[in-house]
Amino acid sequence: MLVSERRRIVPKSRGGVHRLENLVTVCKPCHDAVHSRNAVAPTAITDAEAEPSTLAEVLAGIKSAKTAFRRWKRMYRKVSRFGP
């Protein structure tokens, strides 16, 4: 069972309020990592994953995003023909 906890986006100590738009849910290990100075969240992105290292990787990412956008656009057009 996955346990999730609430977390304020803007901490209360910095003027954050306890309203829905300032709350996010995170898993227990990630929430614990926020409160521990040396812990790394299990879903954290490593430095190697954070930025592409070569121009070829950048271009491949752009091409992949462009292809995905075109697929979604085609699907939207097909679905929108049926009306609301």
Selected residue with higher pLDDT from 40 and 8: 8
pLDDT value, residue 70: 92
**Distance, CA of 44 to chain centre:** 11
8 A C-beta contact, residue 22 and residue 4: no
Return the residue matching tokens 């829905």: 20
Domain ranges within the chain, ordered by starting residue = 1-44, 47-84
CB 33 within 8 A of CB 46: no
The string of pLDDT tens digits covering residues 8-22 is: 888 888 888 888 888
Instruction: Give the pLDDT score at 14.
Output: 87
pLDDT, greater one: 30 or 68: 68
Q: Please give the model's pTM, rounded to 2 decimal places.
A: 0.41
pLDDT band of 40, cuts 50, 70, 90? confident
